[in-house]
Amino acid sequence: KILIVDFGSQVTQLIARRVREEGVYSEIVPFQKAEAAFAEMKPKAVILSGGPASVLDDNAPSAPMAILEAGVPVLGICYGEQTLAKQLGGTVEAGHHREFGRAQIEITDDCALFDGVWQKGGKYDVWMSHGDRVTKLPDGFRAVAQAPGSPISVIADDTRKFYAMQFHPEVVHTPDGAKLLRNFVRKVAGLTGDWTMRAFREEAIDKIRAQVGSGKVICGLSGGVDSAVAAVLIHEAIGDQLTCVFVDHGLLRKDEGKTVVDLFRHHYNIPLVHVDASETFLGALKGVTDPEQKRKTIGKLFIDVFEAEARRVGGADFLAQGTLYPDVIESVSFTGGPSVTIKSHHNVGGLPARMNMKLVEPLRELFKDEVRALGRELGLPDVFVGRHPFPGPGLAIRCPGEITEEKLEILRNADAVYIDQIRKAGLYDDIWQAFAVLLPVRTVGVMGDGRTYDYVVGLRAVTSTDGMTADFYPFDMAFLGATATRIINEVKGVNRVVYDVTSKPPGTIEWE
């Protein structure tokens, strides 16, 4: 086990993720609770995260001395390095120039962290985000790397097995970062990776039972993977103390509602309330064309309908949500600057405050691919677990302009043909998200001997690791041509198909 002491960095969860990837269990605790957690958990190693504070501030957060004196290996990252250095007798000063983003460090000496990864004399790319820097080494330490903005960039004390670095090894922008963390976990701490998703499942079940006790839980299903995995996990923990509510807003993909109902009622035997609210939603969306207005209308109505159903079910103490880690950080930019709302995602916030319920969020620490692995572990069918992400507002934001039942029907059919083509070509799992968009214009075409005047379908497919940035998928032209032909032949109301070749940024993945 590894204990991660959190000083508030926005990427602390990424450290936990990298450790999990090495097959080692880790737990994140805020620095204020670190001493008690350390005593209870008896970890084999400790990682000190980055954080927004400066060790030069009064009352700056620090690592408990009990941890530093316990004889376990410690890795300090960014703020973690600075506090480690300061607490052990080194000096930290405000940097004369701050370093944010990509930087190069030069390796000036060997150390266990660099084994098989970085060579003495080599220069390597890393990701920095700091203002202060270490200027005098604490006793027992050597400097083993330097950077332009921080001459003492990586420090090592091989006797105590203390290592610390100014940059962030946990982010993908430090290309070798995962290997450095692996060296810490495997070589320095001597841990072997035998922790798996099965262990996560068992621990999560224990935690849910401890949190919920004999209380009742209500869970909103969206049709997507995240809420389904959360629900199945919670059901395994507390059985029929859980009730699922599936608000079908009529903006789902073809056959999606049916799949969810079958899966829950028949495959898992989990109590499910299926609310067909499509008329209410489409009614409220009549005449609405502005994308933000659509999102707000759907978000608000969703809460109203869900709340009414919850009241009918009666007396739930907890609300379960399939919130993932990226949902938590979505609107917060990595470099910490004030971030603007590009789109108001409606799946987090709102509901819990209004309903005055406690939250059960068993997936809060996980990333999408880890949730998929957990879903498979729980026996969810592969085709369901592997499905592309789908936005809360559904097809409403894939139908620019006013939404009508007729347009939704065209869109559903075109989308189904497109996805079928992708599955048949064996490309589905290489793509992060693929979907059709129905444009609010008609264009002229010719079919048989007649003139047509029909809608245009836009096809979108992107690769991405987290949805934050994305590239368009490079289909070959023969595939696109064949897909266009099938859509036009099989979907009434469409006579033209275009492919979207915009990356994100500057585009977003969805069209609205």
Which residues neighbour 487 within 8 Å (Cβ) at sequence distance 6 or greater? Answer: 414, 417, 418, 436, 457, 494, 497
Among 131, 215, 389, 401, binds ligand XMP (CB under 6 A): 389
Question: Can 78 be counted among the known catalytic residues?
Answer: yes
Mask 421-440, x = binds ligand XMP (CB under 6 A)?
------------x-------
Helix (H/G/I), strand (E/B), else coil: 224? coil
> How far apart are the C-alpha atoms of 510 and 512, rounded to whole Å?
6
Q: Is 224 annotated as a binding residue?
A: yes
Task: Give bridge partners of residue 436 from the DSSP assignment.
Answer: 459
Nearest approach in angstroms of CB 117 to ligand XMP is 33
Q: Does 30 bind ligand XMP (CB under 6 A)?
A: no
Q: Is 63 annotated as a binding residue?
A: no
> How far apart are the C-alpha atoms of 88 and 93, rounded to whole Å?
15
> How far apart are the C-alpha atoms of 349 and 341, rounded to whole Å?
14
Catalytic hit among 81, 99, 130, 168: 168
State which of positions 246-305 bind ligand XMP (CB under 6 A).
295
- Closest to ligand XMP by CB, 152 vs 459, is 459
Q: Does 391 bind ligand XMP (CB under 6 A)?
A: yes
Sign of torsion, CA 99 102 103 106? Answer: positive
Nearest approach in angstroms of CB 258 to ligand XMP is 21
Q: Does 115 bind ligand XMP (CB under 6 A)?
A: no
Q: Where do we find the tokens 């990509």? A: 102
- Using the rule CB under 6 A, give the single segment among 85-93, 277-285, 387-395, 402-410 that binds ligand XMP: 387-395
- Closest to ligand XMP by CB, 174 vs 259, is 259
Structure tokens belonging to residue 269 = 């035997």
Q: Does 131 bind ligand XMP (CB under 6 A)?
A: no
Catalytic hit among 22, 81, 99, 170: 170
Q: Does 352 bind ligand XMP (CB under 6 A)?
A: no
- Closest to ligand XMP by CB, 193 vs 401, is 401
Q: Is 227 annotated as a binding residue?
A: yes
> How far apart are the C-alpha atoms of 264 and 382, rounded to whole Å?
15
Q: Does 368 bind ligand XMP (CB under 6 A)?
A: no
> How far apart are the C-alpha atoms of 467 and 355, rounded to whole Å?
29
DSSP 274-326: EEE-HHHHHHHHTT---HHHHHHHHHHHHHHHHHHHHHHH----EEE----HH
Among 50, 76, 169, 393, binds ligand XMP (CB under 6 A): 393
Nearest approach in angstroms of CB 234 to ligand XMP is 20
Inter-CA distances, 188 with 174, 184, 185, 326, Å: 20, 5, 6, 30
Nearest approach in angstroms of CB 395 to ligand XMP is 11
Q: What angle do CA 87, 3, 52 make, to 5 degrees?
A: 55
Q: Where are the alpha helices (DSSP H) in 126-224?
A: 177-182, 197-212
Q: Is 331 annotated as a binding residue?
A: no
Which residues neighbour 309 within 8 Å (Cβ) at sequence distance 6 or greater? Answer: 245, 247, 273, 275
Q: Does 349 bind ligand XMP (CB under 6 A)?
A: no
Classify strands 162-165 and 150-157 as parallel, antiparallel or unpaired. antiparallel
- Closest to ligand XMP by CB, 61 vs 394, is 394
Q: Is 332 annotated as a binding residue?
A: no
Question: Can 292 be counted among the known catalytic residues?
Answer: no
Among 386, 467, 482, 502, binds ligand XMP (CB under 6 A): 467
Contact residues for ligand XMP, defined by CB under 6 A:
295, 343, 345-347, 389, 391-393, 433, 467, 504, 508-510
Active site residues: 78, 168, 170
Residues at the annotated binding site for ATP? Answer: 222-228
